[in-house]
Chains A and B, each alone.
Chain A
Amino acid sequence: MTKQSPRSQEPRVSRPARGAKLRVRFTFPQRLVTEPVIWYLSKHFDVITNIRRAEVKESTGWVVLELEGKEEEVQRGLQWVREQGVRVDLVTGDIVEG
Chain B
Amino acid sequence: MPYVKALRCRECGREYPQEPINVCDFCFGPLEVVYDYEAISRVISRERIARGPLSIWRYADLLPADSERAVDINAGFTPLIKAKNLGRRLGLDNLYLKNDCVNPSYSFKDRVVSIAATKALEFGFDTVACASTGNLACSVAAHAARAGMKAVVFIPADLEKGKVVGAAIYGPTLVAVNGNYDDVNRLCSEIADSYHWAFVNINVRPYYSEGSKTLGYEVAEQLGWRAPDHAIVPAASGSLFTKIWKGLKEMSDLKLIGPVKTRMHLTQPTGCSPISTAYLEGTLNIRPVKPKTIAKSLAIGNPADGYYALKTIQQSRGTAWSVTDEEIVEGIKLLASTEGIFTETAGGVVVAGLEKLAKSGAIQKDEVTVAYITGNGLKTQEAVENVVQPLLIEPSLAAFEKAIKER
Instruction: Enumerate chain B residues within 8 angstroms of A27, measured Cβ to Cβ.
Output: 287-288
* Closest chain A CB from B211 CB (angstroms): 13
Instruction: Enumerate chain A residues within 8 angstroms of B381, measured Cβ to Cβ.
Output: none
CA distance A19 to B185 in the complex (A): 20
- A60 near B: Cβ within 8 Å? yes
- B83 near A: Cβ within 8 Å? no
* Closest chain A CB from B269 CB (angstroms): 11
With both beta carbons as reference points, the residue of chain A lying nearest to B299 in the complex is identified as A98
Total B residues in contact with A, Cβ cutoff 8 Å: 45
* Closest chain A CB from B19 CB (angstroms): 16
- B11 near A: Cβ within 8 Å? yes
Q: Which of B276-335 contact A (CB under 8 A)?
A: 285, 287-288, 295-306
- A47 near B: Cβ within 8 Å? no
Q: Is the CB of A94 within 8 A of B300?
A: yes
Q: A98-B135, A98-B236 in contact; A91/B181 too (CB < 8 A)?
A: no
* Closest chain B CB from A69 CB (angstroms): 15
Which residue of B185, B287, B306, B346 is within 8 Å of A96 (Cβ)? B185
* Closest chain A CB from B158 CB (angstroms): 13
CA distance A62 to B274 in the complex (A): 15
Q: Is the interface of A mostly helix, strand, loop or mixed?
A: strand
Contact with A along B1-24 (1 / 0, CB 8 A): 000000000010000000000110
Instruction: Enumerate chain A residues within 8 angstroms of B117, measured Cβ to Cβ.
Output: none
Instruction: Enumerate chain B residues within 8 angstroms of A98, measured Cβ to Cβ.
Output: 132-136, 236, 295-300, 346
Instruction: Enumerate chain A residues within 8 angstroms of B132, measured Cβ to Cβ.
Output: 96-98
Q: Is the CB of B287 within 8 A of A93?
A: no
- A64 near B: Cβ within 8 Å? yes
Q: Is the CB of A96 within 8 A of B188?
A: yes
Instruction: Enumerate chain A residues within 8 angstroms of B295, measured Cβ to Cβ.
Output: 98
CA distance A60 to B284 in the complex (A): 11
Q: Is the CB of B29 within 8 A of A95?
A: no
Q: Which of A2-60 contact B (CB under 8 A)?
A: 23, 25, 27, 52-53, 55, 57, 60
- A66 near B: Cβ within 8 Å? yes
Instruction: Enumerate chain B residues within 8 angstroms of A25, measured Cβ to Cβ.
Output: 302
Q: Which of A46-98 contact B (CB under 8 A)?
A: 52-53, 55, 57, 60, 62, 64, 66, 87, 89-98
CA distance A53 to B24 in the complex (A): 12
With both beta carbons as reference points, the residue of chain A lying nearest to B109 in the complex is identified as A97
Q: Is the CB of B185 within 8 A of A97?
A: no
Which one of A52, A62, A93 has the highest number of Cβ atoms from chain B below 10 Å of its Cβ?
A93
CA distance A23 to B302 in the complex (A): 15
Q: Is the CB of A96 within 8 A of B184?
A: yes
Q: A60-B287, A95-B185, A97-B300 in contact; A52/B237 too (CB < 8 A)?
A: no
Instruction: Enumerate chain B residues within 8 angstroms of A60, measured Cβ to Cβ.
Output: 285, 287
CA distance A94 to B205 in the complex (A): 12
* Closest chain A CB from B276 CB (angstroms): 16
With both beta carbons as reference points, the residue of chain B lying nearest to A29 in the complex is identified as B287
Q: A92-B304, A94-B301, A98-B236 in contact; A53/B29 too (CB < 8 A)?
A: yes
CA distance A92 to B206 in the complex (A): 11
| A contacts, CB < 8 Å to B | 23, 25, 27, 52-53, 55, 57, 60, 62, 64, 66, 87, 89-98
Q: A91-B28, A95-B131, A96-B181 are in contact. List 8 more A-B contacts (CB 8 A).
A: A64-B27, A64-B28, A87-B288, A90-B186, A92-B30, A94-B185, A95-B185, A96-B156
10 residue pairs, one from A and one from B, having the closest CB atoms: A93-B304, A98-B297, A96-B131, A97-B136, A89-B302, A94-B300, A91-B28, A94-B302, A52-B27, A95-B185
